[in-house]
Chain A
Amino acid sequence: EAQVTQNPRYLITVTGKKLTVTCSQNMNHEYMSWYRQDPGLGLRQIYYSMNVEVTDKGDVPEGYKVSRKEKRNFPLILESPSPNQTSLYFCASSFVPPREANEKLFFGSGTQLSVL
């Protein structure tokens, strides 16, 4: 089944304790992206990757890191989480960046992160 898989589904941590949220897609997609969803703010892009070893900042990259060593995986790393990073996180992928807006995004089921 074609899907984007995120883990964990729920995560509670404390301020300053490094964590990684994993994202994997089995559709051979080039483009992958991370979003955070907050009430009243919708989805905001954190980082994106156009292919292996090619990543760039989105709208809200502060406090996050990513890597794209393999095409299928795009982990999100919080080196020193803070309470303002409590949010619902989504990973998404598509065949190519929405260059001509013809490609739809496929989303994972989300990771609810709470930083105490």
Chain B
Amino acid sequence: AQSVAQPEDQVNVAEGNPLTVKCTYSVSGNPYLFWYVQYPNRGLQFLLKYITGDNLVKGSYGFEAEFNKSQTSFHLKKPSALVSDSALYFCAVRDVMNTGFQKLVFGTGTRLLVSP
């Protein structure tokens, strides 16, 4: 089965500094990778995805993610963090079930705290 791992429960950065939220994946075949964000008291929102092509994927709210095949990583990045970026971030990977149906498998989440 495909899986993703988010090694950090929490990431703290100061506003204006670059941020990185880490994700590594374990897949057979080509990975389809996603990032979702969850703001307080809200459902998850799609940020970006990697299917094929450019290793640097740009998404919503100024976020981008870098796909690195050799390191099996898909880290989420932003050049300059905002306090409003504070949220819970989930990495996800597409998995194919025995029925042929495909679903998303989510990581455990990383809480990002941006201090003023």
Interface of A with B (CB < 8 Å)?
Answer: 4, 33, 35, 40-45, 48, 50, 56, 58, 90, 92, 97-102, 104-110
How many angstroms between the C-alpha atoms of A109 and B43 in the bound complex?
Answer: 4
B101 in contact with A97 (CB, 8 Å) = yes
**Interface pair A42/B101, CB less than 8 Å apart:** no
Kindly state the separation between the CA atoms of A104 and B45 in the bound complex, as whole angstroms.
9
In terms of DSSP, what is the predominant structure of the interface of chain B?
A: strand
Cross-chain pairs A/B with CB under 8 angstroms, 12 sampled: A4-B43, A40-B108, A50-B101, A56-B99, A97-B103, A98-B94, A101-B34, A101-B94, A106-B43, A109-B41, A109-B42, A110-B41
Interface residues of B in 63-115 (CB under 8 A from A): 90, 94, 99, 101-104, 106-109
Task: Please indicate the chain A residues that have their CB under 8 angstroms from the CB of B99 in the complex.
Answer: 56
B22 at the interface (CB under 8 A from A): no
A33 to B103, CA, bound (A): 10
Q: Which residues of B contact A58 (CB under 8 A)?
A: 103
B interface residue numbers (CB < 8 A to A):
32, 34, 36, 41-46, 49, 51, 90, 94, 99, 101-104, 106-109
Q: What residues of chain B lie closer than 8 Å to A41, measured between beta carbons?
A: 108
Q: How far is the CA of A44 from the CA of B90 in the complex (A)?
A: 12
Which B residues lie within 8 Å of A43 (CB)?
A: 44, 90, 106
Which of B44, B90, B102, B108 contacts A101 (CB under 8 A)? B102
Q: Which residue of B lies closest to A101 (CB)?
A: B32
Interchain CA distance A115-B49 in the complex, whole Å: 36
Additional 9 contacts, C-beta under 8 A, given A33-B103, A105-B104 = A40-B108, A42-B107, A98-B94, A98-B102, A100-B51, A102-B51, A104-B46, A105-B36, A107-B43
- Shortest beta-carbon distance, B39 to chain A, in Å? 10
